[in-house]
Structure 1
Amino acid sequence: MAVLGLQVVFSLVMFTFLHKLAPYFSVGRWLLSKRLSRYLHPTNDELKQLSSGNQPGKTTGQTSKAKRRAEQRRNAASAQADKSESFTVPRNLPIQLDQALVEDIDLVPLQFYSEYTWLMDFSLCSLVIYVLTEIYFIITPHRLEFNLSILWCLLAVAFCVRVLASQAWIYLRTQEGGERILLVTFTFFFLVFAMGVLIVGDNVIEFGIEEGYKNFSTSATKFLEQQGMTSHGPVSFLTFKISLAFFGMLVGTLLTFPGLRLAKLHVDTLKYSQDRKITQLLLQINYLLPLLLILLWVKPVGRDLLCGKTFSKVKPVFYEDQFEGFRLLLVVVMCGLRILLMPKFMQAHLNLAHEKIESIKKESGRITNIELQKTIARVFFYLCVVAIQYVAPVLLILFLTFLLKTLGGLSWVSLFGETAVSFFTPTSKPGMKLPKLGGENSTLGTIMDSAAEFTSTLGDIRGIFTPVWYRGILNFFLWWVLTVWFSSTSLGVMYYSQNL
């Protein structure tokens, strides 16, 4: 507790909140329940009445609450009750699907429900801890403590990668359809793409990988020499770039289907909001913001243009330090906008049930009742899968941004100038020397000497991984996630726009 101080208190409070209050409140459930409406599939009795030419009775405003609640959940109850009964009906039946608000209890049996709620709740706790820790480090006049919010951000990134990997593995195991072929194709495409990007120097795309590698290699060599080991340094720069390209390929594999899913949601949401100009404007901004962020890392387009290096007589929009803060804040704004628009995208997915039934009506022939009901119920059943594919890349980008800011030694307030940075950057107090509590041969003195030596070694190891190193690595991965997600989304938008 003395080493980490109030950060442990923040973590314990958030852990207690996550453990005790999660069964009663979940931000994931809150985003999906009571604000979305789903389509209910017709029961067997209704299908029989329609097939015989009779119109089924409709519920009215005077229907009792108990009956209405049963009506809302019939797609789950009737599927079990009528599981053994199978018959065929004409495809062109005049079916009118009823709608019902999504309730908390409706989400529980959905696929990937537990993964979705855990990811959202843990991310919220990590966000709160990160904000409190940032405030704490602004107030405290020292930086000797380990920033515990880094651990929470790393865990959030790990959970995002894990849930995306589990979904990608399902697509990879699929025997039917073209999901496996599509995934393998995009995997090799992103491998070649990553190699091409890494060939480009830092003077074009400013990751800072070369500077970070040189800093890391020099520090690691000095540390090994201090330990009495002879070394020519870590792996070569070419091997290092090949490793980055391999990890970039894996990231591209994980974000292929989330990007294609976002493209489908974007096209459908635009279609359903044609009469709402403000919503359409927000949707287009939401789609194009990643492209703007990608271009901000391209030095001739981003830093050189906005900082006045391209044209000598043009007044710069930002100074060098302000540009870094502007880029970070714009990433956070993009993530916030995508979370804000999430209910609209999820509603566009639920509306697929109505589109599917209208498509079936245009076909000739007959269809079984079970197949018809599954076609409609399947849309709602995969709601949490779609929600994860939408929100997991957003959270991945958000926490990579937090890691870049903290580990890279950047500042949120650099956008407001040097005065704001100096005000929010605490000055370090002079180091305090521990009193000599024992003689040279005493046990306590030996323990204190060992502790001092261990602290010195830890400081040397920490000196290997400098902010320059972290900036190079995290800049690349943040830019790469944005690029991969936007690329797959753009390809999907072109595909789905042609099939409207």
Structure 2
Amino acid sequence: MALLGAQLVITLIMVSVIQKLGSYSFARWLLCSQGLYRYLYPDNHELKALAGVPKDKVKGKKGGKSEPNGKLETFHVPRSLDIQLETAPVTPLDVVHLRFYTEYLWIVDFSLYTSIVYIMSEVYTSIFPLKDEFNLSMVWCFLVVMFSLKILLSLTKQYFTSEESIGERSTCIVAFCIFLLIAMIVLIIDESNLEVGVDPAYDSFYENASKFLENQGLSSVGPASKLILKLSLAVWAAIIGTLFTFPGLRVARMHWDSLKYYGDNKVKALLLNANFAMPFVLVLLWIRPITRHYLTVRVFSGMDKPLMRPEAFDSLRIVLVVATAVLRLGLMPRQLQAYLDMAQRRLDVQKKEAGRITNIDLQKKVASVFYYLCVVALQYICPIVMCLFLTLMYKTLGGYTWTALFYETTEMCAADAAPATPATVDGVEQYQLAWENLKMVFTTEVRRGVLGFSSWWAGCAWFLTAALGLLYQTYFRLS
């Protein structure tokens, strides 16, 4: 293995770029330079004027200042007040103090740098194929997946540490149980119907692990049973589904609001609907009777061969995942603006309610929307980032290519070829043989199975929660 090869040079260059361009942030540009505007809550003077509250009946100082004991002045106003909120553009000075702002900057910018490293590595490996060298871009992709998982865990943790999040906490527990059941059902489905690659991965793992133990002089009937493997994958899938529950519901709400505000433009409405439906399309691409059979096996009338080759179909799935990520990133400012518009919608709904509300509660209702902007941005961006880089790892470690869509290729992953076993070995050769046998345990089929199931399930869980959220929004509006 070349320790000072081109891959390490690419990594060192990108680390230097990250240090030099720390003040330039794509995430900040995406949030503050795309025309987003926030709503300003009305101050006490405006509320008094609209509600007709006499100044002599309000305790405290003017302008909403604190009383001598440190308590803000409080008075009641009718809920039916006709309030039109003022707007202001979102600037870096406004968002720098928001919660989870640093996490948002890190995951978006680091994902961008990782994408550049991956593209450069793919170009290099297409010209100079790797032989006994590890692809360092996979380390970058793995780090992005771990960072996304860590951020989603941090967001979900808030529901278990806050005393006011009893409903959210119960929703997470119920979602875990439901997704665990769905994952178990999915793993029971035969590979001839659902192409997740778990069964071929286990068979490859079982065979190579048994050979490795025999070569080391150990007697064994094989590694862990398939039941334990599938149970572990089901728990992993349930955790992903739980972490994607509230991001999926948030995406559904923003999609509903975006269609309501931007539905007059047919092109924008088409893009918004495609943005929402693409995870469902990607999930269908892994169901053999629906997609692979019709595109790569069935020969339609008037044709002498199927529409696509199996290798081209594999490349098509990966390309569509990348296209979905690009589309979601492009529509992100529009979706976030639909979320920010919630401040005015809350007051419009409040007009239909009877009774009175304090000025503090009304101002909190408006201000809390902008306060959670970075949380909403993370809920929108983390799932697609996780799906994207799991798919990139699935492509590279699974031995797939980008060019199979255009012409046939004869490339084969090095892990598919088993090393020759010499008759007698000693010393360094014995160590090298043991290392080669150990690498055989984790063959291409194992990587395809684990990564393929993870990437497919992430898209499935994301779409399921978003679809349930959209159904709830539709039912709530109609009722």
TM-score by length of 1: 0.86
CA distance in 2, matches of 1:51, 1:141: 73
- 1:485 to 1:4, Cα distance in 2 relative to 1, 3 A: farther
Which of 315, 336, 346 is 1:346 aligned to? 336
Q: Is the alpha carbon distance of 1:145 and 1:83 closer, same or farther for their aligned partners in structure 2, counting shifts above 3 Å?
A: farther
Summarize the Cα distance change of 1:451–1:137 in structure 2 as closer, same or farther, 3 Å threshold.
farther
Could you give the per-residue CA deviations for residues 36-77 of structure 1, whole angstroms, max 9, x where no partner exists?
A: 0110111222222323389xxxxxxxxxxxxxxxxxxxxxx9
- Map 1:61-460 onto structure 2 (within 5 A): 84-176=72-164, 177-309=166-298, 315-418=305-408, 421=409, 454-460=431-437
After TM superposition, give the deviation of residue 172 of structure 1 in Å: 3.1
Asked if the contact 2:399/2:413 (under 8 Å) is kept, the reply is: no
The corresponding residue for 2:19 is 19
Deviations 1:144-194 (A, max 9, x none): 211000101110000111111111121233443521222111111111101
Please name the residue that 1:436 is paired with: none
Residue pairs, 1:24-39, within 5 angstroms: 24-34=23-33, 35-39=35-39
The answer to whether the Cα contact below 8 Å between 1:139 and 1:426 also exists between their aligned partners in 2 is no
The separation in 1 between residues aligned to 2:78 and 2:360, in whole angstroms, is 13
For the Cα contact (< 8 Å) 1:160–1:395, is it kept in 2? yes
Partners of 1:474 and 1:16 lie apart in 2 by: 30
Aligned to 1:58: none
Identity of aligned residues (%): 43
Determine if the alignment matches structure 1 residue 496 to structure 2 residue 473. yes
Q: Tell me the CA shift for residue 311 of structure 1.
A: 5.6
- Check conservation: 1:296, 1:302, Cα contact below 8 A: yes
SS in 2 for 1:85: coil
Deviation track 1:89-128 (CA, whole Å, cap 9, x = no partner) reads 2222232211111001111111111111111111111111
Q: Please give the secondary structure, in 2, of the residue aligned with 1:99.
A: strand
Displacement of 1:410 in angstroms is: 0.6
Query: CA separation of 1:96/1:450 partners in 2, compared to 1, >3 Å: closer, same or farther?
Result: farther
SS of the counterpart of 2:88? strand
Q: Is the 8 A contact 1:270 1:280 kept in 2?
A: yes
Are the counterparts in 1 of residues 193 and 288 from structure 2 also a CA contact under 8 Å? yes
Instruction: Give 1:485's aligned residue.
Output: 462
Q: Residues 417, 99 of structure 1: CA spacing in aligned structure 2 closer, same or farther, 3 A cutoff? A: same
Shift of residue 451 of structure 1? 6.0
Distance 1:140 1:452, change over 3 A: farther
CA shift in 2, pair 1:461/1:398, >3 Å:
same
8 Å contact from structure 1 (residues 294, 482) kept in 2:
yes
Distance in 2 of aligned mates of 1:108 and 1:404? 36
Closer, same or farther: CA 13–291 of 1 in aligned 2, 3 Å:
same
Query: 1:209-240: CA deviations, max 9, x gaps?
Result: 11111111111111122222222211011211
Is there any run of 5+ residues in structure 1 with no aligned partner, and where? 55-76, 428-448
Q: 1:324 to 1:79 in 2, by over 3 A?
A: farther
Match of 1:9 in 2: 9
> Which one-letter code corresponds to 1:37 in the other structure?
Y
- Structure 1 residues 168 and 426: CA distance shift in structure 2, 3 A: closer
* Worse overlay, 142-151 or 331-340: 142-151
1:474 positional shift: 1.3
Quickly say closer, same or farther: Cα 1:284–1:78, change in 2 above 3 A: farther
Separation in 2 of the partners of 1:260 and 1:462?
A: 41
- Supply the AA of the counterpart residue of 2:338: A
Contact between 1:216 and 1:466, CA under 8 Å: does it hold in 2?
yes
How far does residue 78 in structure 1 lie from its aligned partner after superposition? Answer: 7.8
**Residues of 1 paired with 2:3 and 2:220: CA distance?**
34
CA deviation after TM superposition for structure 1 residue 426, in Å: 11
Task: Report deviation, 1:493.
Answer: 0.3
Quote the residue 2:442 is aligned against. 465
Higher deviation after alignment, 220-229 or 486-495:
220-229
Q: CA deviation at 1:4?
A: 4.6
- The AA in structure 2 aligned to 1:482 is G
**Structure-1 separation of matches of 2:149 and 2:342:** 28
SS at the partner of 2:7? helix
Q: Distance in 1 between matches of 2:47 and 2:11?
A: 55
Aligned to 1:100, what secondary structure does the other structure show? strand
Q: CA deviation at 1:368?
A: 1.6
Q: What letter corresponds to residue 220 of structure 2 in structure 1? A: S
Q: Rate the CA distance shift 1:141–1:89 in 2: closer, same or farther, 3 A.
A: closer
Relative to structure 1, the CA distance from residue 365 to residue 252 in structure 2 (aligned partners, 3 Å threshold; closer, same or farther) is: same
Whether the 8 Å CA contact 2:201–2:445 is kept in 1: the answer is yes
- Cα 1:232/1:312, change in 2 over 3 Å: farther
Over aligned residues, Cα RMSD in angstroms? 2.4
TM-score by length of 2: 0.89
The number of residues matched between the two structures is: 453
